[in-house]
């Protein structure tokens, strides 16, 4: 098994870890890495979490990239069993043209299935489909003490609920069984409509969530005054087109870090204006390959370098339905006044709560956006954390690098259940991450 000293970062490149990275290719090698007498360990999948969820500064990191086999597929039921390092990209490449897709997918295909379980990720179909964990039939977990455990809604139930959305601290997931979804076409028809302000955008999302399979809104977080919260609603359905050849997706790569001055309030504001106007005032409908719709940012590899060497923070929260109008408005007013928001932000609705003790989703609106890292950004993030708490919301750990441990405890009321499971399964704290230390998980 390879073993190398590396510096790993989160996708936002503000969190770094000097680590000893191992790349097991089999269950026995994972067991060997877990049993090693050395320090603490965390699994690292596709590295698409923005902050420190998969980082372990000064300790060991288990890279799951070589655990990437699809073990079985039942073409009648769609049940797929795979290792954790399989990516959404591989599922698209192998199954889309055969009429099967992952039941839920995040906005990047470079995320792994292990990472999707550990953050209980959601997609543009959350109102209809819930989060990834809702589709997991069972998991095989190598516990910190080396036991191999089968987890499901019938076996080791508490550990199952702690592992879904459990940010990698309950053990190393070795196998995942989940049901894929049948689709009628590898293309989707996307209806796009402008909304001139926040009330109109939220009303459009509320109407669309009841009618459409996929919904998302791009929001201009730099707009102020009467245009505050203007954006573009996208609602999509699988097309009637069947499975004609899809155009090859040629991704470009950003070869260098942009200089810091490239992203400034002027260039960002201008970009957002142009983006808003790309859809005609009367709206439009177009047909797109499913993967181009799901993963628009994947067309530019290493796009995180656009933020320069200092990187960027992403903020994503969910505000419960009853507070959503007030809460999202308060957040956007603060963000627009800070003049530090980046390109397009995303506003989505979320349906039911996830199964995991630390699952992020609950019914309401979720807002996600990037901020280039500047001296004052952590202060802004702290203000957004307080506003989120004031409106009964929570911050998404997959995107987080800044949340306080006090805020985290208030946002995740099932944390005591999760910590009780952790104390039982990992009394010595063998699995730890920088996020766990920052949020003082398991310290209570
Ligand atoms: C462009 C972009 C768009 C995104 N869009 C969305 C979105 O729409 N919805 C959404 O929910 N998220 C979204 N995300 C976040 C992303 O889906 C999650 O962070 C996801 O967990 C990343 O998976 P990964 O394989 O990169 O995992 P990593 O980031 O490497 O790790 C994530 C967590 O999983 C744990 N883990 C990984 N493998 C294992 C394993 N085998 N056993 C135990 N624990 C493991 C790690 O320890 C860590 O805690 C987006 C991210 C990007 C960059």
pLDDT at 94 over 80: yes
The model's confidence at residue 36, banded by pLDDT at 50, 70 and 90, is: confident
Query: Ligand 1, closest atom to CA 396?
Result: 11
Residue 77 contacts residue 37 (beta carbons within 8 Å)? no
Domains present along the chain, CATH in parentheses: 187-241+253-405 (3.40.462.10)
pLDDT digits (tens, 9 = 90+) for 286-329: 999 999 999 988 888 888 888 888 999 999 999 999 999 999 99
For ligand 1, the distance from its centroid to the CA atom of residue 160, given in whole angstroms, is 18
pLDDT digits (tens, 9 = 90+) for 129-184: 999 999 999 999 999 999 999 999 999 999 999 999 999 999 999 999 999 999 99
How far CA 219 is from CA of 182, 282, 380, 393, in Å, comes to: 31, 18, 19, 19
| Residue with CA closest to ligand 1 atom 7 | 106
Could you give the CA distance from residue 284 to residue 289 in angstroms, rounded to a whole number?
17
Best mutation site among 14, 61, 90, 118 for ligand 1, i.e. most ligand atoms within 8 A of its Cβ?
118
- Ligand 1 neighbourhood includes 105 CB (under 6 angstroms): no
Q: What pLDDT does 136 receive? A: 98
Best mutation site among 17, 22, 398, 400 for ligand 1, i.e. most ligand atoms within 8 A of its Cβ?
398
What tokens were used for 213? Answer: 């399979």
Q: What pLDDT does 251 receive? A: 77
Best mutation site among 49, 171, 368 for ligand 1, i.e. most ligand atoms within 8 A of its Cβ?
49
Best mutation site among 29, 82, 106 for ligand 1, i.e. most ligand atoms within 8 A of its Cβ?
106
Mean of pLDDT over the chain: 94
Query: Ligand 1, closest atom to CA 124?
Result: 8
Of 201, 242, 203, 226, which Cα lies nearest the Cα of 99? 242
Q: What pLDDT does 137 receive? A: 98
- Ligand 1 neighbourhood includes 108 CB (under 6 angstroms): yes
Instruction: Find tokens 């899809």 and name the residue.
Output: 246
For ligand 1, the distance from its centroid to the CA atom of residue 116, given in whole angstroms, is 5
The model's confidence at residue 39, banded by pLDDT at 50, 70 and 90, is: low
For ligand 1, the distance from its centroid to the CA atom of residue 282, given in whole angstroms, is 37
- Ligand 1 neighbourhood includes 47 CB (under 6 angstroms): yes
- Ligand 1 neighbourhood includes 172 CB (under 6 angstroms): yes
- Ligand 1 neighbourhood includes 106 CB (under 6 angstroms): yes
For ligand 1, the distance from its centroid to the CA atom of residue 418, given in whole angstroms, is 19
Q: What pLDDT does 444 receive? A: 65
pLDDT digits (tens, 9 = 90+) for 215-252: 999 999 999 999 999 999 999 999 987 888 888 877 77
């Amino acid at each position: 098994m390879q073993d190398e000293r590396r510096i790993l970062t989160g996708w936002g490149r503000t969190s770094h870890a000097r680590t000893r990275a191992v790349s097991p290719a089999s269950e026995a090698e994972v067991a060997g890495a877990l049993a090693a007498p050395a320090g603490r360990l965390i699994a690292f999948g596709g590295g698409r979490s923005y902050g420190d969820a998969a980082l372990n500064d000064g300790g060991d990191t288990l890279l799951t990239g070589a655990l990437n086999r699809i073990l079985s597929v039942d073409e009648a039921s769609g049940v797929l069993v795979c290792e954790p390092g399989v990516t959404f990209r591989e599922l698209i490449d192998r199954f889309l043209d055969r009429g099967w897709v992952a039941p839920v997918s995040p906005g990047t295909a470079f995320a792994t299935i292990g990472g999707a379980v550990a953050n209980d990720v959601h997609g543009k179909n959350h109102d209809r489909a819930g989060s990834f964990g809702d589709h997991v039939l069972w998991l095989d977990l190598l516990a910190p003490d080396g036991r191999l455990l089968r987890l499901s809604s019938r076996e080791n139930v508490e550990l199952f609920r702690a592992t879904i959305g459990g940010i990698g601290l309950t053990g190393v997931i070795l196998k995942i069984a989940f049901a894929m979804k049948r689709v009628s076409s590898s293309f989707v028809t996307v209806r796009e409509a402008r909304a001139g302000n926040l009330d109109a955008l939220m009303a459009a999302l509320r109407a669309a969530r009841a009618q459409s399979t996929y919904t998302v809104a791009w929001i201009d977080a730099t707009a102020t005054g009467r245009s505050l919260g203007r954006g573009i609603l996208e609602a999509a359905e699988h097309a009637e087109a069947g499975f004609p050849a899809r155009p090859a997706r040629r991704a470009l790569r950003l070869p260098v870090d942009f200089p810091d001055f490239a992203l400034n309030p002027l260039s960002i504001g201008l970009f957002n204006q142009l983006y808003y106007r790309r859809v005609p005032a009367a709206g439009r409908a177009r047909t797109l390959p499913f993967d181009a719709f799901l993963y628009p940012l994947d067309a530019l590899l290493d796009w995180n370098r656009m933020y320069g060497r200092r990187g960027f923070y992403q903020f994503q929260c969910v505000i419960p339905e009853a507070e959503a109008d007030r809460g999202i408005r308060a957040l956007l007013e603060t963000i627009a006044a800070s003049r530090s928001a980046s390109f397009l932000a995303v506003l989505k609705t979320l349906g039911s709560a996830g199964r995991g003790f630390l699952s992020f989703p609950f019914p309401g609106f979720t807002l996600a956006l990037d901020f280039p890292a500047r001296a004052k950004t952590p202060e802004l993030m702290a203000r957004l954390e307080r506003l989120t708490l004031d409106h009964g919301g929570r911050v998404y750990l997959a995107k987080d690098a800044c949340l306080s441990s006090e805020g985290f405890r208030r946002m995740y009321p099932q944390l005591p259940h999760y910590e009780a499971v952790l104390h039982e399964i990992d009394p010595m704290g063998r699995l730890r991450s920088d996020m766990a230390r920052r949020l003082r998980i398991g310290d209570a």
